Amino acid sequence: MVSKVVFGRGCFNQLGDILAPKRLNTKAPFIYIVDDVFKGKSWLTSRIPLSYDDKIYYISANEEPKTSQVDELVEEIILTYKERPSGIIGIGGGTIMDLAKAVSIMITNDGESKDYQGWDLVKHPAIYHVGVPTISGTGAEVSRTTILTGPERKLGINSDFTPFDQVFLDPELTKDVPKDQWFYTGMDCYVHCIESLNGTYLNSFSQSYGEKALELCKEIFLSDTLTKDESEDKLMMASWHGGMSIAYSQVGVAHAMSYGLGYLLGIKHGVGNCIVFEHLEAYYPKGVAMYKAMRKKHNITIPQGICADLSDKEFDIMIDVALSLEPLWENALGKQWKKTITRGKLKELYLKM
Ligand code: NAD
Ligand code: ZN
Protein backbone atom coordinates (compact mmCIF):
# COMPACT_ATOMS: atom_id res chain seq x y z
CA MET A 1 0.00 0.00 0.00
CA VAL A 2 0.97 3.64 -0.42
CA SER A 3 2.49 4.74 2.88
CA LYS A 4 1.76 8.48 2.76
CA VAL A 5 -0.99 10.49 1.14
CA VAL A 6 -2.22 14.07 1.27
CA PHE A 7 -5.65 15.05 -0.06
CA GLY A 8 -7.34 18.33 -0.83
CA ARG A 9 -7.72 21.17 -3.29
CA GLY A 10 -4.40 22.98 -3.38
CA CYS A 11 -2.41 20.27 -1.55
CA PHE A 12 -0.03 20.22 -4.54
CA ASN A 13 1.45 23.38 -2.96
CA GLN A 14 2.92 21.17 -0.22
CA LEU A 15 5.22 19.43 -2.71
CA GLY A 16 8.33 21.41 -1.75
CA ASP A 17 7.84 20.97 2.01
CA ILE A 18 7.20 17.26 1.71
CA LEU A 19 10.12 16.57 -0.65
CA ALA A 20 12.74 18.70 1.13
CA PRO A 21 13.59 16.17 3.89
CA LYS A 22 13.88 13.44 1.26
CA ARG A 23 16.74 15.14 -0.61
CA LEU A 24 19.80 12.94 -0.16
CA ASN A 25 22.31 15.69 -1.03
CA THR A 26 22.67 18.61 -3.42
CA LYS A 27 24.01 16.37 -6.20
CA ALA A 28 21.14 13.91 -5.96
CA PRO A 29 18.32 15.54 -7.94
CA PHE A 30 14.59 15.11 -7.88
CA ILE A 31 13.49 14.01 -11.34
CA TYR A 32 10.00 15.10 -12.40
CA ILE A 33 8.24 13.11 -15.09
CA VAL A 34 5.43 15.39 -16.23
CA ASP A 35 2.70 14.91 -18.87
CA ASP A 36 3.60 17.24 -21.75
CA VAL A 37 0.00 18.44 -21.82
CA PHE A 38 1.20 20.73 -18.98
CA LYS A 39 4.14 22.20 -20.89
CA GLY A 40 3.70 25.96 -20.76
CA LYS A 41 0.82 25.68 -18.26
CA SER A 42 2.42 27.82 -15.58
CA TRP A 43 -0.50 27.46 -13.14
CA LEU A 44 0.90 23.96 -12.59
CA THR A 45 4.56 24.03 -13.64
CA SER A 46 5.48 27.18 -11.68
CA ARG A 47 4.58 25.25 -8.53
CA ILE A 48 7.15 22.52 -9.18
CA PRO A 49 9.92 23.38 -6.71
CA LEU A 50 13.15 22.99 -8.74
CA SER A 51 16.52 23.46 -7.05
CA TYR A 52 20.14 22.25 -7.54
CA ASP A 53 20.18 19.70 -10.39
CA ASP A 54 16.46 18.90 -10.31
CA LYS A 55 15.00 18.30 -13.75
CA ILE A 56 11.64 18.09 -15.47
CA TYR A 57 11.17 15.58 -18.29
CA TYR A 58 8.01 16.38 -20.27
CA ILE A 59 6.63 13.18 -21.72
CA SER A 60 3.72 12.59 -24.07
CA ALA A 61 0.86 10.42 -22.81
CA ASN A 62 -0.42 9.80 -26.32
CA GLU A 63 0.91 6.27 -26.14
CA GLU A 64 0.96 3.99 -23.13
CA PRO A 65 4.37 3.33 -21.54
CA LYS A 66 6.71 0.83 -23.13
CA THR A 67 9.51 -1.14 -21.52
CA SER A 68 11.96 0.34 -24.07
CA GLN A 69 10.88 3.86 -23.06
CA VAL A 70 11.50 3.06 -19.38
CA ASP A 71 14.94 1.66 -20.16
CA GLU A 72 15.93 4.70 -22.26
CA LEU A 73 14.85 7.13 -19.57
CA VAL A 74 16.69 5.21 -16.86
CA GLU A 75 19.85 5.12 -18.94
CA GLU A 76 19.66 8.83 -19.57
CA ILE A 77 19.22 9.58 -15.87
CA ILE A 78 22.08 7.29 -14.85
CA LEU A 79 24.42 8.77 -17.48
CA THR A 80 23.50 12.39 -16.71
CA TYR A 81 23.89 12.39 -12.94
CA LYS A 82 26.83 11.24 -10.88
CA GLU A 83 24.60 10.37 -7.96
CA ARG A 84 21.49 8.28 -7.74
CA PRO A 85 18.48 10.67 -7.75
CA SER A 86 16.76 11.59 -4.49
CA GLY A 87 13.43 10.68 -6.00
CA ILE A 88 11.17 10.38 -9.02
CA ILE A 89 7.93 12.38 -9.13
CA GLY A 90 5.29 11.48 -11.71
CA ILE A 91 2.73 14.21 -12.50
CA GLY A 92 0.01 13.07 -14.91
CA GLY A 93 -2.44 10.27 -15.57
CA GLY A 94 -1.95 6.53 -15.44
CA THR A 95 0.53 6.64 -18.31
CA ILE A 96 2.88 9.05 -16.55
CA MET A 97 2.42 7.55 -13.09
CA ASP A 98 3.24 4.09 -14.42
CA LEU A 99 6.32 5.44 -16.13
CA ALA A 100 7.47 7.10 -12.89
CA LYS A 101 6.95 3.91 -10.90
CA ALA A 102 8.83 1.80 -13.44
CA VAL A 103 11.76 4.23 -13.68
CA SER A 104 12.11 4.33 -9.89
CA ILE A 105 12.31 0.53 -9.85
CA MET A 106 14.74 0.21 -12.74
CA ILE A 107 17.22 2.69 -11.23
CA THR A 108 18.05 0.12 -8.55
CA ASN A 109 17.49 -3.13 -10.47
CA ASP A 110 19.80 -4.51 -13.16
CA GLY A 111 18.83 -5.56 -16.65
CA GLU A 112 15.85 -4.46 -18.70
CA SER A 113 12.38 -3.63 -17.48
CA LYS A 114 10.85 -6.40 -19.61
CA ASP A 115 12.60 -8.90 -17.31
CA TYR A 116 10.43 -7.71 -14.44
CA GLN A 117 7.00 -7.92 -16.11
CA GLY A 118 5.13 -10.39 -13.97
CA TRP A 119 4.58 -10.96 -10.29
CA ASP A 120 7.20 -10.32 -7.59
CA LEU A 121 10.29 -10.40 -9.80
CA VAL A 122 11.79 -7.14 -8.49
CA LYS A 123 14.79 -7.77 -6.25
CA HIS A 124 15.75 -4.38 -4.81
CA PRO A 125 13.59 -1.59 -3.37
CA ALA A 126 12.89 1.27 -5.79
CA ILE A 127 14.15 4.77 -5.05
CA TYR A 128 11.73 7.19 -3.35
CA HIS A 129 8.84 7.85 -5.72
CA VAL A 130 5.88 10.14 -5.64
CA GLY A 131 2.63 10.15 -7.61
CA VAL A 132 0.54 13.19 -8.47
CA PRO A 133 -2.53 12.16 -10.49
CA THR A 134 -4.00 14.78 -12.83
CA ILE A 135 -6.89 12.65 -14.11
CA SER A 136 -8.94 10.20 -12.06
CA GLY A 137 -9.94 6.60 -12.59
CA THR A 138 -7.11 4.16 -13.20
CA GLY A 139 -6.15 3.65 -9.56
CA ALA A 140 -2.52 3.70 -10.74
CA GLU A 141 -1.87 6.14 -7.90
CA VAL A 142 -2.56 3.43 -5.36
CA SER A 143 -1.82 0.12 -7.08
CA ARG A 144 1.14 -2.24 -6.74
CA THR A 145 1.59 -2.52 -10.49
CA THR A 146 2.93 -0.50 -13.40
CA ILE A 147 1.51 -1.65 -16.71
CA LEU A 148 4.05 -1.73 -19.53
CA THR A 149 3.96 -2.84 -23.12
CA GLY A 150 7.03 -4.96 -23.74
CA PRO A 151 8.37 -6.83 -26.76
CA GLU A 152 6.40 -9.94 -25.84
CA ARG A 153 3.51 -8.84 -23.68
CA LYS A 154 1.53 -6.08 -22.09
CA LEU A 155 1.90 -6.84 -18.41
CA GLY A 156 2.60 -5.03 -15.18
CA ILE A 157 5.60 -5.03 -12.91
CA ASN A 158 3.65 -6.21 -9.87
CA SER A 159 5.70 -5.98 -6.70
CA ASP A 160 5.82 -4.70 -3.14
CA PHE A 161 8.32 -2.08 -4.34
CA THR A 162 5.99 -0.67 -7.00
CA PRO A 163 3.53 1.44 -4.92
CA PHE A 164 4.35 5.10 -4.47
CA ASP A 165 5.95 6.24 -1.20
CA GLN A 166 3.88 9.41 -1.29
CA VAL A 167 0.79 10.49 -3.22
CA PHE A 168 -0.74 13.94 -3.65
CA LEU A 169 -4.48 13.80 -4.29
CA ASP A 170 -5.30 17.32 -5.45
CA PRO A 171 -8.58 17.23 -7.42
CA GLU A 172 -7.98 20.78 -8.68
CA LEU A 173 -5.29 19.37 -11.00
CA THR A 174 -8.00 17.54 -12.97
CA LYS A 175 -9.98 20.67 -13.86
CA ASP A 176 -9.04 20.78 -17.58
CA VAL A 177 -9.46 17.11 -18.49
CA PRO A 178 -11.43 16.88 -21.78
CA LYS A 179 -14.91 15.41 -21.37
CA ASP A 180 -14.41 12.23 -23.43
CA GLN A 181 -11.18 11.44 -21.60
CA TRP A 182 -12.86 12.15 -18.24
CA PHE A 183 -15.46 9.55 -19.15
CA TYR A 184 -13.05 6.91 -20.51
CA THR A 185 -10.69 7.08 -17.52
CA GLY A 186 -13.64 7.38 -15.11
CA MET A 187 -15.13 4.23 -16.62
CA ASP A 188 -11.86 2.43 -15.93
CA CYS A 189 -12.70 2.95 -12.26
CA TYR A 190 -16.31 1.87 -12.78
CA VAL A 191 -15.19 -1.31 -14.57
CA HIS A 192 -12.70 -2.04 -11.78
CA CYS A 193 -15.64 -1.99 -9.35
CA ILE A 194 -17.88 -4.20 -11.47
CA GLU A 195 -15.14 -6.75 -12.18
CA SER A 196 -13.98 -6.84 -8.59
CA LEU A 197 -17.46 -7.04 -7.02
CA ASN A 198 -18.59 -9.76 -9.44
CA GLY A 199 -15.41 -11.79 -9.29
CA THR A 200 -14.74 -15.10 -7.58
CA TYR A 201 -11.71 -13.58 -5.82
CA LEU A 202 -13.94 -11.15 -3.91
CA ASN A 203 -13.34 -10.86 -0.18
CA SER A 204 -14.43 -8.39 2.50
CA PHE A 205 -11.38 -6.18 1.97
CA SER A 206 -12.05 -5.76 -1.76
CA GLN A 207 -15.79 -5.56 -1.31
CA SER A 208 -15.65 -2.72 1.18
CA TYR A 209 -13.54 -0.56 -1.15
CA GLY A 210 -15.38 -1.68 -4.31
CA GLU A 211 -18.82 -0.86 -2.93
CA LYS A 212 -17.73 2.62 -1.86
CA ALA A 213 -16.14 3.30 -5.27
CA LEU A 214 -19.26 2.07 -7.08
CA GLU A 215 -21.51 4.28 -4.93
CA LEU A 216 -19.32 7.28 -5.81
CA CYS A 217 -19.37 6.39 -9.53
CA LYS A 218 -23.17 6.26 -9.52
CA GLU A 219 -23.31 9.68 -7.90
CA ILE A 220 -20.75 11.17 -10.30
CA PHE A 221 -22.00 9.69 -13.56
CA LEU A 222 -25.75 9.35 -12.98
CA SER A 223 -26.92 12.09 -10.60
CA ASP A 224 -27.35 15.80 -11.32
CA THR A 225 -26.71 17.03 -7.81
CA LEU A 226 -22.93 17.54 -7.77
CA THR A 227 -20.99 20.71 -8.53
CA LYS A 228 -17.92 20.38 -10.78
CA ASP A 229 -15.63 20.59 -7.74
CA GLU A 230 -17.59 17.94 -5.82
CA SER A 231 -17.58 15.67 -8.83
CA GLU A 232 -13.78 16.03 -9.23
CA ASP A 233 -13.20 15.42 -5.52
CA LYS A 234 -15.39 12.33 -5.50
CA LEU A 235 -13.93 10.84 -8.69
CA MET A 236 -10.45 11.13 -7.25
CA MET A 237 -11.57 9.15 -4.20
CA ALA A 238 -13.51 6.66 -6.34
CA SER A 239 -10.32 5.99 -8.29
CA TRP A 240 -8.42 5.40 -5.06
CA HIS A 241 -11.05 3.05 -3.66
CA GLY A 242 -11.44 1.21 -6.97
CA GLY A 243 -7.68 0.68 -7.04
CA MET A 244 -7.72 -0.56 -3.45
CA SER A 245 -10.53 -2.95 -4.31
CA ILE A 246 -8.59 -4.69 -7.08
CA ALA A 247 -5.41 -4.67 -4.98
CA TYR A 248 -6.85 -7.61 -3.08
CA SER A 249 -8.88 -9.19 -5.88
CA GLN A 250 -8.56 -8.92 -9.66
CA VAL A 251 -10.10 -7.39 -12.73
CA GLY A 252 -11.94 -9.55 -15.25
CA VAL A 253 -13.20 -10.07 -18.81
CA ALA A 254 -13.17 -6.43 -19.95
CA HIS A 255 -9.58 -5.89 -18.86
CA ALA A 256 -8.34 -9.16 -20.37
CA MET A 257 -9.86 -8.30 -23.74
CA SER A 258 -8.88 -4.63 -23.55
CA TYR A 259 -5.24 -5.66 -23.06
CA GLY A 260 -5.51 -7.50 -26.40
CA LEU A 261 -6.77 -4.33 -28.12
CA GLY A 262 -4.03 -2.32 -26.44
CA TYR A 263 -1.25 -4.67 -27.45
CA LEU A 264 -2.22 -5.08 -31.10
CA LEU A 265 -3.89 -1.78 -31.96
CA GLY A 266 -2.46 0.61 -29.37
CA ILE A 267 -5.98 1.33 -28.07
CA LYS A 268 -5.60 3.05 -24.72
CA HIS A 269 -6.73 1.43 -21.51
CA GLY A 270 -9.76 3.60 -20.64
CA VAL A 271 -11.39 3.75 -24.05
CA GLY A 272 -10.42 0.11 -24.65
CA ASN A 273 -12.35 -0.95 -21.57
CA CYS A 274 -15.37 0.99 -22.81
CA ILE A 275 -15.16 -0.59 -26.29
CA VAL A 276 -15.12 -4.06 -24.74
CA PHE A 277 -17.63 -3.39 -21.97
CA GLU A 278 -20.30 -2.44 -24.54
CA HIS A 279 -20.47 -6.15 -25.46
CA LEU A 280 -20.22 -7.93 -22.12
CA GLU A 281 -23.92 -8.22 -21.16
CA ALA A 282 -23.49 -11.98 -20.89
CA TYR A 283 -20.89 -11.59 -18.15
CA TYR A 284 -21.92 -8.43 -16.31
CA PRO A 285 -25.61 -7.80 -17.17
CA LYS A 286 -26.39 -5.16 -14.53
CA GLY A 287 -22.98 -3.52 -14.80
CA VAL A 288 -23.25 -3.16 -18.58
CA ALA A 289 -26.79 -1.74 -18.36
CA MET A 290 -25.67 0.90 -15.89
CA TYR A 291 -22.58 1.67 -17.97
CA LYS A 292 -24.78 2.28 -21.03
CA ALA A 293 -27.01 4.63 -19.03
CA MET A 294 -23.90 6.60 -18.01
CA ARG A 295 -22.60 6.73 -21.58
CA LYS A 296 -25.97 7.96 -22.87
CA LYS A 297 -26.36 10.57 -20.13
CA HIS A 298 -23.03 12.15 -21.03
CA ASN A 299 -23.48 11.74 -24.77
CA ILE A 300 -20.14 9.99 -25.22
CA THR A 301 -19.18 8.31 -28.48
CA ILE A 302 -17.34 5.01 -28.31
CA PRO A 303 -15.24 3.99 -31.34
CA GLN A 304 -16.78 1.19 -33.38
CA GLY A 305 -15.65 -1.18 -36.09
CA ILE A 306 -12.04 -1.19 -34.92
CA CYS A 307 -11.65 -4.92 -35.56
CA ALA A 308 -13.45 -4.88 -38.92
CA ASP A 309 -10.37 -5.21 -41.12
CA LEU A 310 -8.18 -7.45 -39.02
CA SER A 311 -6.59 -10.62 -40.37
CA ASP A 312 -6.89 -14.02 -38.70
CA LYS A 313 -3.29 -13.66 -37.56
CA GLU A 314 -4.11 -10.36 -35.85
CA PHE A 315 -7.13 -11.85 -34.11
CA ASP A 316 -4.85 -14.63 -32.90
CA ILE A 317 -2.43 -12.13 -31.40
CA MET A 318 -5.20 -10.37 -29.48
CA ILE A 319 -6.69 -13.65 -28.33
CA ASP A 320 -3.27 -14.90 -27.17
CA VAL A 321 -2.73 -11.72 -25.12
CA ALA A 322 -6.21 -11.92 -23.60
CA LEU A 323 -5.97 -15.62 -22.74
CA SER A 324 -2.51 -15.26 -21.21
CA LEU A 325 -4.07 -13.21 -18.39
CA GLU A 326 -5.23 -16.29 -16.54
CA PRO A 327 -5.88 -14.73 -13.10
CA LEU A 328 -8.31 -12.28 -14.72
CA TRP A 329 -10.36 -15.09 -16.29
CA GLU A 330 -10.23 -17.16 -13.15
CA ASN A 331 -11.47 -14.21 -11.14
CA ALA A 332 -14.28 -13.55 -13.62
CA LEU A 333 -15.48 -17.11 -14.20
CA GLY A 334 -13.93 -19.41 -11.62
CA LYS A 335 -11.31 -22.14 -11.78
CA GLN A 336 -13.07 -23.94 -14.63
CA TRP A 337 -13.00 -20.90 -16.94
CA LYS A 338 -11.21 -22.77 -19.71
CA LYS A 339 -14.32 -24.88 -20.21
CA THR A 340 -16.40 -21.87 -21.25
CA ILE A 341 -13.93 -19.43 -22.80
CA THR A 342 -12.82 -20.57 -26.23
CA ARG A 343 -10.79 -18.80 -28.90
CA GLY A 344 -13.89 -18.83 -31.08
CA LYS A 345 -15.94 -17.04 -28.45
CA LEU A 346 -13.30 -14.34 -28.05
CA LYS A 347 -13.07 -13.84 -31.80
CA GLU A 348 -16.85 -13.50 -31.97
CA LEU A 349 -16.72 -10.79 -29.30
CA TYR A 350 -13.78 -8.95 -30.92
CA LEU A 351 -15.64 -8.99 -34.25
CA LYS A 352 -18.46 -6.98 -32.65
CA MET A 353 -16.08 -4.20 -31.56
P1 NAD B 1 -3.41 8.93 -19.57
O2 NAD B 1 -2.39 9.16 -18.54
O3 NAD B 1 -3.06 8.07 -20.73
O4 NAD B 1 -3.91 10.35 -20.11
C5 NAD B 1 -5.00 10.42 -21.02
C6 NAD B 1 -5.03 11.77 -21.68
O7 NAD B 1 -5.43 12.76 -20.75
C8 NAD B 1 -3.67 12.20 -22.21
O9 NAD B 1 -3.86 12.83 -23.45
C10 NAD B 1 -3.20 13.19 -21.17
O11 NAD B 1 -2.29 14.12 -21.72
C12 NAD B 1 -4.49 13.83 -20.76
N13 NAD B 1 -4.50 14.45 -19.44
C14 NAD B 1 -4.10 13.93 -18.24
N15 NAD B 1 -4.33 14.80 -17.26
C16 NAD B 1 -4.86 15.91 -17.82
C17 NAD B 1 -5.31 17.16 -17.30
N18 NAD B 1 -5.31 17.44 -16.00
N19 NAD B 1 -5.79 18.07 -18.18
C20 NAD B 1 -5.87 17.80 -19.51
N21 NAD B 1 -5.47 16.63 -20.06
C22 NAD B 1 -4.97 15.70 -19.20
O23 NAD B 1 -4.79 8.40 -18.98
P24 NAD B 1 -5.20 7.38 -17.87
O25 NAD B 1 -6.47 6.81 -18.33
O26 NAD B 1 -5.13 8.01 -16.52
O27 NAD B 1 -4.07 6.28 -17.89
C28 NAD B 1 -4.05 5.19 -18.76
C29 NAD B 1 -2.82 4.39 -18.44
O30 NAD B 1 -2.91 3.92 -17.11
C31 NAD B 1 -2.61 3.17 -19.31
O32 NAD B 1 -1.26 3.12 -19.70
C33 NAD B 1 -2.94 2.01 -18.41
O34 NAD B 1 -2.23 0.84 -18.73
C35 NAD B 1 -2.53 2.56 -17.07
N36 NAD B 1 -3.20 1.93 -15.94
C37 NAD B 1 -2.43 1.59 -14.88
C38 NAD B 1 -2.99 1.00 -13.77
C39 NAD B 1 -2.12 0.62 -12.62
O40 NAD B 1 -2.62 0.09 -11.64
N41 NAD B 1 -0.84 0.88 -12.66
C42 NAD B 1 -4.36 0.75 -13.71
C43 NAD B 1 -5.14 1.12 -14.80
C44 NAD B 1 -4.55 1.72 -15.90
ZN1 ZN C 1 -8.16 -0.64 -15.49
d(CA 318, CA 149) in angstroms, rounded, equals 13
pLDDT digits (tens, 9 = 90+) for 273-320: 999 999 999 999 999 999 999 999 999 999 999 999 999 999 999 999
Q: What is the pLDDT of residue 153?
A: 81
* Residue 138 near ligand 1, beta carbon < 6 Å: yes
pLDDT tens-place string over residues 108-162: 999 999 999 999 999 999 999 999 999 999 999 999 999 999 998 888 999 999 9
Measured in angstroms, how far is the CA atom of residue 61 from the centroid of ligand 1? 7
What CATH number did the domain enclosing 124 receive?
A: 3.40.50.1970
Indicate which atom in ligand 1 lies nearest the CA of residue 243.
40
Asked whether residue 69 falls in the same domain as residue 116, the answer is yes
The total domain count for the chain is: 2
Shared domain for 184 and 166, answered yes or no, is no
Per-residue model confidence as pLDDT tens digits over 33-63: 999 999 999 999 999 999 999 999 999 999 9
106 and 218, same domain (yes or no): no
pLDDT of residue 251: 97
Kindly state whether residues 120 and 190 are assigned to the same domain: no
Query: Which residue, of 120, 155, 174, is where some domain finishes?
Result: 174
Specify whether 328 is located in the same domain as 345: yes
User: Ligand 1 mean position to 317 CA, how many Å?
Assistant: 25
Contacts 24+ apart (CB under 8 A), 200-207: 200/330, 200/331, 200/332, 200/333, 200/334, 200/335, 201/249, 201/250, 201/330, 201/331, 202/249, 203/248, 203/249, 205/248, 206/245, 206/246, 206/247, 206/248, 206/249, 207/245
Q: End of a domain among 156, 174, 192?
A: 174
pLDDT digits (tens, 9 = 90+) for 317-331: 999 999 999 999 999
**CB distance 181 to ligand 1 below 6 Å:** yes
pLDDT of the residue at 154:
84
| Ligand 1 pocket mutation, candidates 38, 141, 269, criterion most atoms within 8 A of CB | 269
Task: Give residue 203's pLDDT.
Answer: 98
Q: Say yes or no: 207 and 345 in one domain.
A: yes
* 259, pLDDT greater than 90: yes
Give the whole-number percent of the chain exceeding pLDDT 90. 98
Asked if residue 63 has its Cβ within 6 Å of ligand 1, the reply is: no
- Statement to judge: residues 148 and 191 lie in one domain: no
Q: Does the beta carbon of 93 lie inside 6 Å of ligand 1? A: yes
Do residue 99 and residue 186 come from a single domain?
Answer: no
CA 289–ligand 1 middle distance (angstroms)? 25
pLDDT score, position 234:
98
150 with 241, same domain: the answer is no
Protein residue whose Cα sits closest to atom 19 of ligand 1: 177
**With helix as H, strand as E and coil as C, how does the chain read?**
CCCEEEECCCHHHHHHHHHHHHCCCCCCCEEEEEEHHHCCCHHHHCCCCCCCCCEEEEECCCCCCEHHHHHHHHHHHHHHCCCCCCEEEEEECHHHHHHHHHHHHHCCCCCCHHHHCEECCCCCCCCCEEEEECCCCCCCCCCCCCEEECCCCEEEEECCCCCCCEEEECHHHHCCCCHHHHHHHHHHHHHHHHHHHCCCCCCHHHHHHHHHHHHHHHHHHHCCCCCHHHHHHHHHHHHHHHHHHHHCCCCCHHHHHHHHHHHHHCCCHHHHHHHHHCCCCCCCHHHHHHHHHHHHHCCCCCCCCCCCCCCHHHHHHHHHHHHHCHHHHHHHHCCCHHHHCCHHHHHHHHHHC
Do 320 and 336 lie in one domain? The reply is yes
Identify whether residues 125 and 227 lie together within a single domain: no
Domain residue limits at 113? 4-174
Amino acid at site 300: I
In this prediction, residue 194 carries a pLDDT of: 98
What CATH number is associated with residue 226? 1.20.1090.10
- Which among 174, 189, 212 is the end of a domain? 174
**300 and 263, same structural domain?**
yes
Tell me the CA–centroid distance for residue 268 and ligand 1, in Å.
Answer: 9
